[in-house]
Chain A
């Protein structure tokens, strides 16, 4: 679809949820819809909710129904947008709020959807639930009190969510390798789901127990699971516990009840209500369970973060002295911020890139959060100005979003410009071949992919969110741009592509110099070992101590 330059732009779209006048349960407003201007998805969509502020919506979400209905509109299949806006509303309160959506594309204009009014109903706490939770917690405590166990202060019990390949999981695996091989720790792992990293645990001599999912919608289920995990923790003989990720709060609660000193690592930079909405839906866990979540955050011995911005996000739930940021490194630090020219040449040859190609790489499992749809659209916009630019999205997964990406690349005729590469256990060749690294996620804590790019001497263009801004200084050691904004992403890529190769090398070197102190993964294993040893020591556990719980 083409529009003459003097014609008025055609705006199409609408809100799917929430319906006007709807009564929404909870205090998070989920807004979704679709929008097109001149057949293209807008560059930027902002959702505003009274009492909740404004958030940038995630755009270029799959909408096969719109694509089917508007086949001649290029971006129709990816015209979807969504946003979640938490509203300040106490439990037991109701409130009528207005919401509106603003769409914008540079050079075209701005469009505001009609204001819509909905009612929010935040259910009050059920006193029966609270009573039941107390009763069940008491049963668990009495059962645990009958157990006599020897604890080993050098035995670490780890609770995690998954053993599949992913940022948080790989972070944990590298940490366990450092703790076991470098600091004399023994470990046991409890995971919600199995995955290929179980084999890595086996190599380290770490037994793995796979438990049931951590999400529970009733007090009975929650307390039951906590009781089981607490008994497991008690019988494990561990002297200290490490809980990985925000969603594993049932494990954090269990570890505390088992009397284990506990460190809880939070990678997620979502607010708690937003995270709960994503995992539990509009009706978040029962209040008694929610209260346990908040109390676990407040009372766990240490809350550990990978980025200061994430720490700041969770400070209101705990105390400053319990919250600490520990940077993590990557095994790729050994490359020293540099890729040898011959390795680069070999990698580019093996991957089929020409000498004069400017290779852009992004790493990460394809999902809406990573903004891969925006990246593809940006490449479409600048391919004429930079015809040798080649984007490789490494992390392709066969999902609805992945299929939409494939379709977008095909419809835009970008097969020669954009490659969709399956998830790679070892993405090193792609990094060695790259001229630029791009991270377009709208939520991140401290992306390990950026660390890896820095270690390989590749300049980074990243969204200005959370930990990314703690690693990159815009214009000096990389480029930063606003998230969920195609115009900003396109302009950032233009800035990066317009930069000479020599200047890009300087910027990559500057990034490596700034981060050099904490790129070595031995550093964070050492820091974690010290924190865990301190916790185990405070608990008073000594070798062969019998603890009458």
Chain B
């Protein structure tokens, strides 16, 4: 189409001009609409992508929600487990406390057993001493009986030495031994041993020490009654080779009289 409108009737020219103007307007409108379409399309795309993103986010949210629910359930289970573990811990703590008590009681009992054994050993030592005393008296009585039976001149003096005194002392020592033996037997059997520990401690503190006869617990060299001017007793021993013996030494007795 040419833009030369000469030769065209005026009405046609006006119409063409009007149409051209309209076409321009429409073209501009079209451009504008195209631009708008483009922007709309862009918007739409962005909306679509936004929607997609939204959907993805929603999906994520859904998943997260599900996970949260799972976690909540797990949390609930954990809470239950924690509660159970707490109860277990509490019961174990109680058990541990009772075990500690038992352990402490065991230690105390072991200590008591140790104390009881030491007490027992002390009592046995006392019993040994009492037995020695009793036996010494009984053997003196035996010797006296033998002397009497032999009818020797010494017998008269022995008879006059009041064997009844010896008998009384023998009976006393016998009673002492029986008493100690009974006590030792009772302490082995009784459960109140620990209860009476303080009483025994008090008795030990106030018990009279010493026993008749010599203090056999000390060697002569340590005995305060040992005459320092006396030489300590002989100990020449040459018995492995009897032929090497020259002579023997006969000694005065060493009586410990402390």
Given contacts A107-B143, A491-B138, contact A116 B240 (CB under 8 A): no
Quick check: B239 and A111 within 8 Å, CB to CB?
Answer: no
A68–B236 alpha-carbon span in the complex (Å): 18
Quick check: B254 and A16 within 8 Å, CB to CB?
Answer: no
Chain A residues within an 8 Å CB radius of B131: 481-482, 488
Min CB gap A5→B, angstroms: 6
Min CB gap A402→B, angstroms: 21
Chain B residues within an 8 Å CB radius of A16: 237, 239-240
Tell yes or no: B242 within 8 A of A by CB.
yes
Mark out the residues of chain B between 126 and 153 whose CB falls within 8 Å of any chain A CB in the assembled complex.
128, 131-132, 134-136, 138-140, 142-143, 145-146, 149
Q: Which of B79-87, B203-211, B214-222 lines the interface with chain A?
A: B214-222
Quick check: B239 and A100 within 8 Å, CB to CB?
Answer: no
Quick check: B242 and A69 within 8 Å, CB to CB?
Answer: yes
Tell yes or no: A114 within 8 A of B by CB.
yes
Min CB gap B85→A, angstroms: 31
Mark out the residues of chain A between 85 and 129 whose CB falls within 8 Å of any chain B CB in the assembled complex.
100, 102, 104, 106-116
Chain A residues within an 8 Å CB radius of B240: 16, 65
Quick check: B139 and A111 within 8 Å, CB to CB?
Answer: no
Quick check: A114 and B233 within 8 Å, CB to CB?
Answer: yes
Chain A residues within an 8 Å CB radius of B245: 69
Chain B residues within an 8 Å CB radius of A110: 214, 216, 253-256
Mark out the residues of chain A between 486 and 541 whose CB falls within 8 Å of any chain B CB in the assembled complex.
487-488, 490-492, 494-495
Chain A residues within an 8 Å CB radius of B65: none
Given contacts A110-B254, A114-B232, A488-B135, contact A384 B238 (CB under 8 A): no
Residue of A nearest to B221 (CB): A115
Given contacts A14-B237, A14-B238, A15-B237, contact A384 B149 (CB under 8 A): yes
Quick check: B136 and A106 within 8 Å, CB to CB?
Answer: yes
Tell yes or no: B181 within 8 A of A by CB.
yes
A229–B216 alpha-carbon span in the complex (Å): 51
Tell yes or no: A420 within 8 A of B by CB.
no
Quick check: A34 and B239 within 8 Å, CB to CB?
Answer: yes
Quick check: B135 and A106 within 8 Å, CB to CB?
Answer: yes
Proximity bits, A419-434, B CB within 8 Å = 1, else 0: 0000000000000000
Residue of B nearest to A105 (CB): B139
Given contacts A107-B143, A384-B149, A475-B178, contact A491 B233 (CB under 8 A): no
A63, A111, A112: residue with the most chain B Cβ atoms closer than 10 Å? A112
Residue of A nearest to B181 (CB): A474
Min CB gap A427→B, angstroms: 29
Chain B residues within an 8 Å CB radius of A108: 253
A382–B135 alpha-carbon span in the complex (Å): 14
A543–B252 alpha-carbon span in the complex (Å): 77
Quick check: A8 and B237 within 8 Å, CB to CB?
Answer: no
Chain B residues within an 8 Å CB radius of A100: 219, 221
Chain B residues within an 8 Å CB radius of A112: 219-221, 232-233, 254, 256
Chain B residues within an 8 Å CB radius of A115: 219, 221, 232
Chain A residues within an 8 Å CB radius of B117: 312
A9–B252 alpha-carbon span in the complex (Å): 7
Given contacts A5-B154, A107-B139, A112-B219, contact A63 B253 (CB under 8 A): no
Quick check: B235 and A15 within 8 Å, CB to CB?
Answer: yes
Proximity bits, A260-295, B CB within 8 Å = 1, else 0: 000000000000000000000000000000000000
Chain B residues within an 8 Å CB radius of A109: 253-255
Chain B residues within an 8 Å CB radius of A172: none
Quick check: B239 and A66 within 8 Å, CB to CB?
Answer: yes
Chain B residues within an 8 Å CB radius of A107: 136, 139-140, 143
Min CB gap A159→B, angstroms: 32
Tell yes or no: A412 within 8 A of B by CB.
no
Tell yes or no: A12 within 8 A of B by CB.
yes
Quick check: A113 and B233 within 8 Å, CB to CB?
Answer: yes
Quick check: A65 and B134 within 8 Å, CB to CB?
Answer: no
Quick check: A111 and B250 within 8 Å, CB to CB?
Answer: no
A: residues with CB less than 8 A from B are 5, 8-16, 33-34, 46, 48, 63, 65-66, 68-69, 100, 102, 104, 106-116, 312, 381-382, 384-385, 473-475, 481-482, 487-488, 490-492, 494-495
What are the nearest 10 A-B pairs in CB distance? A14-B237, A491-B135, A112-B220, A109-B253, A113-B235, A114-B235, A65-B242, A491-B138, A100-B219, A69-B242
Excluding A112-B256, A385-B145, 14 further A-B contacts by CB distance (< 8 Å) are A12-B250, A13-B237, A14-B239, A63-B239, A102-B219, A106-B135, A106-B140, A109-B253, A110-B214, A111-B233, A112-B221, A112-B254, A487-B136, A495-B138
